[in-house]
């Protein structure tokens, strides 16, 4: 009798742990909504949703940092909150792919290393922008340099995000189960998203046109694609967790 009771207690504890695991993943993956609001909203407030053109001279750059000084500081401060939520979102995706049977642990570590370092793609450039806005008495050439550092780092430093997409894709390809955690098309979608950043490599060669850091190909297209990717990943992860809940409920019944 005691042995049976003990087994029931273990089974109940496992179900409770699984339920808590699901709730945490749901909470973290839904961070995508405030993530997008804070990041996009903060950049809009700062006036940086549309990048300062690389063709601007020092006087033009200083003028923008002077005229928009308060909103730059406020907007970037708001956008910084999105970095915390990006880390939460990335953790949820890594946690969800861990549900794949026999997933090599290295792929989970690959994801964590990628999105953790990818967060610096926002932190470091925004620090440059804030530094430029902090002391307007600097020489115009210094503010121009800080602005260049910020935009080049923001647009060029894509490699961690490409690595993250590839790590997710590889994880999905490892899923051989009849009911995969993510549909296989998500793997190909992640590869496409990761490759969409590659044209950012060429921004150093252009100060105007579609390949400049404010151009259609290095900036606007990847920006839009990544917004779609975050939204799609959130939706598919929520569906996977809900399906998992139904399946585990059926096993309990």
Mean pLDDT, residues 103-116 taken together: 96
| CA atoms within a 13 Å half-sphere pointing along the CA-CB vector of 181 | 23
Who's near 33: CB < 8 A, 6+ residues apart? 234
Return the residue matching tokens 């006087």.
59
Mean pLDDT of 230-253: 82
Residue 139 has pLDDT above 60, yes or no: yes
Q: Quote the tokens at residue 165.
A: 């997409």
Residue with tokens 């020092």: 58
Q: Where are the alpha helices (DSSP H) in the chain?
A: 2-29, 32-46, 58-67, 69-97, 105-118, 120-134, 140-156, 159-173, 185-195, 221-252
Look at residue 19 in the predicted model and tell me its pLDDT: 82
Q: Tokens representing 216? A: 């259609």
- Cα torsion 137, 139, 143, 145 to 10°: value is -160
| Residue 12: pLDDT band with limits 50, 70, 90 | confident
pLDDT at 20: 85
| Pairwise CA distance, residues 173 & 151, whole Å | 35
Q: Which of 28, 11, 157, 34 is nearest to 90 (CA)?
A: 28
pLDDT tens digits, 31-62? 999 999 999 999 999 999 999 999 999 999 99
Quick check: 16 pLDDT over 80? no
Measured in degrees and rounded to the nearest 5, phi and psi for residue 100 equal: -70, 130
Is the per-residue pLDDT at 2 higher than 90? no
Digit-coded pLDDT (tens) for 164-212: 999 999 999 999 998 899 999 999 999 999 999 999 999 999 999 999 9
pLDDT band at 9 (very low <50, low <70, confident <90, very high): low
**Measured between alpha carbons, how far is 70 from 159 in angstroms, rounded to an integer?**
32
Tens digits of residue pLDDT in 90-101: 999 999 999 999
If one counts every other C-beta atom within 10 angstroms of the C-beta of residue 13, the result is 10
**What percent of the chain is modeled with pLDDT above 90?**
84
Please give the pLDDT value at position 8: 47
- At residue 51, the pLDDT reads 96
Provide the percentage of residues in the chain whose pLDDT is more than 70: 93
What is the C-alpha to C-alpha distance for residues 205 and 246, in angstroms, rounded to an integer? Answer: 53
Query: What six digits make up the tokens of 101?
Result: 């049977």
> Taking Cα atoms as reference points, which of 155, 159, 30 lies closest to residue 91?
30
């Amino acid at each position: 009798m005691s042995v049976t009771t003990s087994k029931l207690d273990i089974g109940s504890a496992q179900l409770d742990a699984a339920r808590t695991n699901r709730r945490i993943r749901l909470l973290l993956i839904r961070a995508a909504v405030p993530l997008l609001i804070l990041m996009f909203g903060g950049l809009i407030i700062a006036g940086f949703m549309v990048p300062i053109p690389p063709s601007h001279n020092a006087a033009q750059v200083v003028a923008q940092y002077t005229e928009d000084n308060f909103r730059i500081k406020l907007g970037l401060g708001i956008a910084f909150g999105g970095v915390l939520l990006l880390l939460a979102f990335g953790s949820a995706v890594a946690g969800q792919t861990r549900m794949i049977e026999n997933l090599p642990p290295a792929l989970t570590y690959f994801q964590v290393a990628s999105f953790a370092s990818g967060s610096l793609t926002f932190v470091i450039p925004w620090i440059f922008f804030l530094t430029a806005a902090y002391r307007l008495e600097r020489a115009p050439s210094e503010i121009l340099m800080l602005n260049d550092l910020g935009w080049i780092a923001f647009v060029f430093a894509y490699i961690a995000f490409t690595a993250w997409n590839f790590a997710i894709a590889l994880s999905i390809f490892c899923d051989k189960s009849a009911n995969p955690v993510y549909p296989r098309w998500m793997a190909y979608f992640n590869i496409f998203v990761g490759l969409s950043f590659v044209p950012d490599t060429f921004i150093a060669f252009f100060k105007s046109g579609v390949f400049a850091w404010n151009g259609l190909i290095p900036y606007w297209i990847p920006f839009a694609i990544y917004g779609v990717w975050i939204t799609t990943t959130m939706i598919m992860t929520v569906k996977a967790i809900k399906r998992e809940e139904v399946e585990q409920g059926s096993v309990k019944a």
